[in-house]
């Protein structure tokens, strides 16, 4: 990565939260992830079926070269299937912009509520215990935000502080947890829910642009919810770090064309992401005299096969440490911001021993990278 001096933060979460706007607010108590749950749409499509449908529907739209490349991308073994927020996924291909935002709204709320309800149940809590809510997304804009719909859908108290975050892209789950942690630290007691939800299919576009071809072979829909509390149980939030390289924002972003979102992904992205990921990991490990080998579990956002390989190589990880990320990529594709939480859920399901460390790493628009160091209690 080119030499520059971007904003970089590294803070003890039980001292300062790793957010520029909140880092001067010390936390008196440690914070913990009590539970984590995911929610996936009911409709799944195999990559083989997606290849058949896209080839048939856009044979006259795409050039022969683009059509051949799209088929090659969909044949890649790293992804087997993806899930879509639509009862009839093929209908996504002919939606109007108004149809899309209506579908985004419906499914973003439905999946968020499902994930949050499951996470609360796993922690032995109910909606009356909730003291705050933070929701992030980058695949649709509605005003008022998703959080207010959840107040109504889930029956949250109407005085509950709620926040909506946008613009972090695939890395958004960790900034969300940082904000949720800052909110919880200001409460005498309580529970805060952190929700990441993306309806990537609501940004579907087709064309000969390589970014669009990649996107149509990579992204799916999903949501994840984390319950945070102060009880010494679950995964302790030990520390977090964030790194921004805005001079590379054109390498990974949404752009507006004719009033609609079009995904833009650079072929240079694996190299840029691996360097940014190394920055946030080093910011967490070096001050604590830790090395990669001291981290038992790695919840790395699987942005794609090439990106996952590049990050793994840069961090010196063993293939076994990438297994959970590869499994999520294979079965769900890249769901943007919830994906790293799906990986963390997979790791938690396999079991962590008391005292073991887990490092969650996510990256996305900005160009940005974020890391969260966790320890099993």
pLDDT in the model for residue 29: 72
pLDDT in the model for residue 10: 38
Indicate whether 25 belongs to any domain.
Answer: no
Between helix 339-350 and helix 323-332 the angle, nearest 10°, is 120
Residue that finishes a domain, picked among 229, 245, 279: 229
User: Quick one: which of 329, 298, 341 has its CA closest to 196?
Assistant: 341
Q: What is the pTM of this model?
A: 0.91
pLDDT along the chain (377 residues), means of 10: 34 34 41 98 96 96 96 97 95 94 97 98 97 97 96 96 95 97 90 98 95 95 98 95 92 85 86 94 95 95 96 95 98 98 97 96 94 96
Residue that finishes a domain, picked among 211, 229, 247: 229
Instruction: Note whether 225 and 292 are same-domain residues.
Output: no
Instruction: Note whether 197 and 251 are same-domain residues.
Output: no
Structural domain total, the chain? 2
pLDDT in the model for residue 217: 96
pLDDT in the model for residue 26: 30
Residue that finishes a domain, picked among 229, 251, 285: 229
pLDDT in the model for residue 266: 82
User: Quick one: which of 145, 112, 99, 106 has its CA closest to 260?
Assistant: 99
pLDDT in the model for residue 120: 98
CA 57 to chain centre: 30
Instruction: Note whether 272 and 348 are same-domain residues.
Output: yes
Between helix 305-315 and helix 269-285 the angle, nearest 10°, is 40
Indicate whether 1 belongs to any domain.
Answer: no
Instruction: Note whether 48 and 190 are same-domain residues.
Output: yes
Q: Which domain holds residue 259?
A: 234-376
**Residue 289 belongs to domain with CATH number:** 3.40.47.10
Instruction: Note whether 88 and 102 are same-domain residues.
Output: yes
pLDDT in the model for residue 294: 94
Instruction: Note whether 181 and 271 are same-domain residues.
Output: no
pLDDT in the model for residue 362: 97
In sign, the C-alpha dihedral spanning 63, 68, 70, 71 is positive
Instruction: Note whether 304 and 354 are same-domain residues.
Output: yes
Instruction: Note whether 89 and 214 are same-domain residues.
Output: yes
How far is 84 from 101, CA to CA, in rounded Å?
Answer: 15
Instruction: Note whether 291 and 334 are same-domain residues.
Output: yes
pLDDT in the model for residue 255: 86
Indicate whether 42 belongs to any domain.
Answer: yes
Structure tokens at 342: 């799906």
Instruction: Note whether 279 and 214 are same-domain residues.
Output: no
Instruction: Note whether 144 and 110 are same-domain residues.
Output: yes
Altogether, the residues listed in the chain come to a count of: 377
How far is 377 from 217, CA to CA, in rounded Å?
Answer: 39
Instruction: Note whether 159 and 288 are same-domain residues.
Output: no
pLDDT in the model for residue 58: 96
Structure tokens at 231: 């009880």
């Amino acid at each position: 990565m080119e030499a520059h001096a971007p904003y970089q933060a590294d803070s003890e979460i039980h001292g300062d939260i790793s957010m520029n706007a909140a880092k001067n607010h010390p936390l008196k108590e440690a914070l913990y992830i009590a539970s984590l749950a995911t929610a996936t749409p009911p409709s799944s499509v195999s990559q083989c079926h997606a290849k058949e449908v896209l080839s048939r529907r856009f044979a006259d739209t795409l050039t022969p070269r683009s059509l051949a490349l799209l088929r090659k991308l969909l044949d890649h073994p790293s992804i087997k299937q993806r899930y879509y927020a639509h009862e009839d996924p093929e209908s996504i291909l002919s939606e109007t912009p108004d149809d899309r935002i209506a579908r985004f709204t419906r499914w973003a709320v439905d999946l968020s509520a499902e994930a949050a309800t499951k996470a609360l149940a796993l922690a032995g809590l109910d909606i009356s215990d909730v003291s705050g809510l933070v929701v992030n997304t980058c695949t649709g804009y509605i005003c008022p935000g998703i959080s207010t719909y959840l107040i109504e859908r889930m029956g949250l108290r109407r005085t509950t502080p709620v926040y909506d975050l946008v613009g972090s892209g695939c890395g958004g789950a960790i900034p969300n947890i940082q904000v949720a942690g800052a909110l919880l630290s200001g409460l005498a007691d309580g529970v805060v829910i952190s929700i990441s939800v993306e309806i990537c299919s609501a940004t579907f576009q087709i064309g000969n642009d390589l970014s669009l071809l990649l996107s149509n072979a990579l992204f799916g829909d999903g949501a994840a919810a984390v319950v945070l509390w102060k009880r010494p149980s679950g995964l302790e939030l030990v520390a977090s770090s964030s790194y921004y390289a805005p001079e590379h924002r054109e390498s990974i972003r949404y752009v507006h064309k004719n009033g609609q979102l079009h995904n833009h992904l650079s072929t240079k992205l694996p190299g840029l992401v691996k360097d940014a990921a190394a920055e946030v990991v080093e910011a967490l490990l070096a001050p604590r005299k830790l090395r990669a080998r001291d981290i038992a579990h790695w919840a790395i956002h699987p942005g794609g096969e090439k990106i996952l390989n590049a990050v793994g190589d840069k961090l010196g990880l063993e293939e076994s440490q990438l297994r959970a990320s590869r499994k999520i990529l294979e079965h769900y594709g890249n769901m943007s911001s919830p994906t790293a939480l799906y990986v963390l859920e997979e790791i938690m399901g396999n079991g962590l021993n008391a005292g073991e460390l887990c490092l969650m790493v996510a990256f996305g628009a900005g160009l940005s990278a974020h890391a969260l160091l966790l320890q099993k209690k």
